[in-house]
Amino acid sequence: MVRVSVGARLHFGFCNLSLARDRLYGGVGVALDEPRVVVTAEPADEVRCRHPAAKEYADRAVALLDVPGAAVSVERSLPRHAGLGSGTQLALAVLRAVATATETPAEIRSLAPELGRGGRSGIGVATFESGGALLDAGHPTTRFTTDRPAIGSWTVPPVVARHEIPDHWRFLLVVPDADPGRSGAAEDESMRSVVERADATTSDRISGIVTQKLLPALAEGSAERFGEAVETIGRLNGTWYADEQGGVYRPPVGELVSSLTESPAVYGTGQSSWGPAVYGVTDADHVGAALDAGNAALDDAGIEGTVTVAEGRNVGASAIR
């Protein structure tokens, strides 16, 4: 039996959503050590899996790898459509588990599109591969169409920058009990609408923040400046999405972000992907205060939820027999 384990990811936003620029999307994100997906697999004469989503990925993996089957179990999973990368991490974990269990070569990056992953952002695939803090190149704007691309018809955006996440950095996660973020056809429709009317000047502002603030903060290991940079990137992304999600942040994320910005222990905060997960950048010396700020934010908003702190992860998924 093979056990594959990989952590969640945070997605801070895109570098460009305007058709007036050469490259579309271009994700910014980091890998986390927790929460995580843990999948096991062993060879079988057919696909056996009780987890509905994993079963679909296992069926596809067996077909792609041309093997008889696999018995797949999900020991741990991420909250679905919460902004933590649940779909990509589960899909790739199943693929890696089936491939390793059946001793079949599998190039994760090239096969990810066949599982419907990496069509816009390459951050989920890249964090699965290598962990770290990442920036991907996005896709050529000329390839954008208003119709949903056929599964497997794209390539995963290449990584253009990767940095190790400093050991002392920490990431506050506040996940309110709220409706899941958008996915599937609803997400596709929203993204098309946003791209078709996105303001290109916002992309230019984000580009400046990436080169002048984000990448230098990573190179210098400054959690404070990194937090400021990703918070600004997320807020600018929110101006593109405002009509689709009901504001710069989707409800109730705005209330949580507003509360967290008052804490000196949280250097930057925002919404991961479509939410409802809210992140905060902090460090090992301020974990207790950051957790208090997260719980206070939920209390102030009158919402139940979970509050945790995670370390960054600088390696990809593990596969252990």
**For residue 242, what are the CA distances in angstroms to 148, 191, 239, 249, 285?**
22, 12, 5, 7, 35
Q: Are residues 74 and 38 in contact, defined by beta-carbon separation less than 8 angstroms?
A: yes
pTM over 0.75: yes
Quote the pLDDT of residue 297: 98
Q: What residues form DSSP beta bridges with 91?
A: none
Encode pLDDT of 84-128 as tens digits.
999 999 999 999 999 999 999 999 999 999 999 999 999 999 999
The token pair at 41 is 């697999």
So where are the chain's domains? 2-320
Rounded to whole angstroms, the Cα distance separating 181 from 245 reads 10
Quote the pLDDT of residue 184: 82
Q: Are residues 84 and 128 in contact, defined by beta-carbon separation less than 8 angstroms?
A: no
Contacts of 32 (CB under 8 A, 6+ apart): 7, 8, 9, 10, 84, 171, 173, 310, 311, 312, 313
Sheet strands (E) in the chain = 2-16, 23-43, 47-48, 70-76, 133-136, 139-140, 159-163, 169-176, 268-271, 278-283, 305-311, 318-320
Quote the pLDDT of residue 159: 98
Quote the pLDDT of residue 148: 81
Residue 320 pLDDT grade (very low, low, confident, very high; cuts 50, 70, 90): very high
Q: Which CATH architecture does the domain made up of 2-320 adopt?
A: 2-Layer Sandwich (3.30)
| 182 has pLDDT over 90 | no
Encode pLDDT of 125-172 as tens digits.
999 999 999 999 999 999 998 888 899 999 999 999 999 999 999 999
Q: Are residues 117 and 58 in contact, defined by beta-carbon separation less than 8 angstroms?
A: no
Quote the pLDDT of residue 168: 98
Quote the pLDDT of residue 266: 98
In three-state secondary structure terms, 167 is coil
